[in-house]
Structure 1
Amino acid sequence: MSLLEISHLQKIYSTRFGGVKVEALSDVSFTVEQGEYLAIMGESGAGKTTLLNILAALDRPTGGSVCLSGRDITKISDRELSAFRRDHLGFVFQDFNLLDTFSLKDNIFLPLVLAGTPYREMSLRLGPIARQLGIAELLDKYPYEVSGGQKQRAAVARALITRPELVLADEPTGALDSRSSESLLHLFGKINEAGQTIVMVTHSVRAASHAGRVLFLRDGQVYHQLYRGGMSTESMFARISDTLTALSGGEQDE
């Protein structure tokens, strides 16, 4: 069953005085199935960030549609957008976006507080997530007191605690060392196995090799897709690297 349907998406940016127009997305169409783990890749300027911002309802397309569970999010009014993002989407960012004046627990609770969720319900939701992510003993600490990997686990907990239909991850391993990155990617895999749909934008071949499908953008269009099928992570890594080399016409670093 398709959870997310993107159809003929186009985004054109104009310069301040409208003299020059830049087409960030030209004609992008794809679907994301319920419970899928999709990575989106491409060279700088391919349209990845623009696409993610539109999927997150942070930007509106020039044309086309984005339907989440049958509802076109491009048609949601500005007044409704904040509540829609909070109720239906979870976000994991490269730089964590945690508030240093809040404990990890309060950072995780923040979207539920904004939604008016009772404290008892918040606490009931937090326990299993904190244990799953290995941060149950850290909840009273502040972001500046924990490691980058622990900060990102708290950010993942904040994304999951609203029970979103879709988690959007923007370079989630970008600020982490290799050990923390592998740990986070393992957690993403477990979260996905439990049924959570994830769409991740990344430059990292290693991160993308953990996904079930990789979609490659080039010049604002879908250039190619790779499906994991029965491939191992190592085989997926090699296939992604080969595709990126063909995409760029040159050498591709990890």
Structure 2
Amino acid sequence: MALLEVKNVKKIYTTRFGGNKVEALRDVNFSVEPGEYVAIMGESGSGKSTLLNILAQLDRPTSGKVILKGRDLSTIKEKEMSAFRRQNLGFVFQDFHLLDTFTLKDNIFLPLVLSGRRYEEMEQRLAPIARHLGIEKILEKYPYEVSGGQKQRVAVARALIIKPQIILADEPTGALDSKAAQELLRLFSSVNHDGQTILMVTHSVKAASSANRVMFIKDGEVFHQLYRGNLTDEQMYQKISDTLTVLEAGGEHVE
């Protein structure tokens, strides 16, 4: 059974004065199996950010369905949505979204605090994650005292600590230097190897080449998909680059 199903999702925005309608998503269909690592790519304005917002339940589709673990998300009431996100969705953003007045540990604990978890349970959950991500020695520091790469590791820890059904990552390497970006991608591959499902929106061919499947969005639809199979990261990188070249040239077919 698929973990996530997106069925005939359409999103139409009406301009401020109602004069024009913009079709951000036309007819999006795909599914994600438990344990998959999927990257979503596309040109600016292709609809990928709109799609991520709908998956994160920060926006609602005009029509169509998003089903997570058999549950149609449109049936969740607004007042229950925040709790649903905290319990099921882990988020990793380009700009980290850490609170400067909280220690790194307290930033990681925040979703569990909001869910009413006991401190002992939070500590027990954090210990193996901190070891795995190599952040044990910086937990008492504040965000302004650590590097961008360390901030992003903390953001990953915050996403993992809720034991999410799926991690949604929005340009997670966008604010990192090449070394920190490479470290983050290794971490994503590692936690995915441990069974964590990841869906990542990215402009970076390097980041996408670490995924096991890449979906390309064009004009509000899934235009093409690449599967890793036995390809190396380098081979995957080349296939992604070739596909993007076709997309940018307005091509209709990808080998």
TM-score range, shorter chain: over 0.9
Structure-2 residue corresponding to 1:154: 154
Instruction: Report the equivalent of 2:253.
Output: none
1:240 maps to what in 2?
Answer: 240
TM alignment of 1:171-182, pairs within 5 A: 171-182=171-182
Query: What's the secondary structure of 2:181's corresponding residue?
Result: helix
Structure 2 unpaired stretches of 5+: 251-255
Unaligned runs of 5+ in 1: none
Rounded to whole Å, the distance in 2 between the matches of 1:168 and 1:15 is: 28
Q: CA deviation at 1:76?
A: 1.1
**CA deviation string 1:32-88 (max 9, x = no partner):** 000000000000000010000000000000000000000011221101100000000
Partner amino acid, structure 2, of 1:232 = T
Q: Any residues of structure 2 matched to 1:1-254 within 5 Å, and which? A: 1-249=1-249
TM-score by length of 2: 0.97
SS at structure 2 position matched to 1:2: coil
Distance 1:55 1:68 in 2: 9
Aligned partner of 1:142: which letter? Answer: Y
Aligned partners of 1:74, 1:199: CA distance in 2, in Å? 20
Aligned residue for 1:151, secondary structure, equals helix
Q: Deviations over 1:130-163 (max 9, x none)?
A: 0100000000000000000000000000000000
TM score, norm. by length of structure 1: 0.98
Q: Secondary structure at the match of 1:26?
A: strand
Distance 1:130 1:41 in 2: 30
> How many residue pairs align between the two structures?
250
- Segments of 4+ moved more than 6 angstroms: none
Q: Secondary structure at the match of 1:17?
A: coil
Displacement of 1:225 after TM fit? 0.1
User: Which letter maps to 1:87?
Assistant: Q
What amino acid is the match of 2:214? V
Could you give the per-residue CA deviations for residues 182-201 of structure 1, whole angstroms, max 9, x where no partner exists?
A: 00000000000000000000
How high is the sequence identity, in percent, across the aligned residues? 68
The aligned amino acid for 2:146 is V
> How far did residue 17 of structure 1 move?
1.6
Shift in Å at residue 103 of structure 1? 0.4
Q: Distance in 2 between matches of 1:94 and 1:214?
A: 19
Q: Say which SS state the counterpart of residue 107 (structure 1) adopts.
A: helix
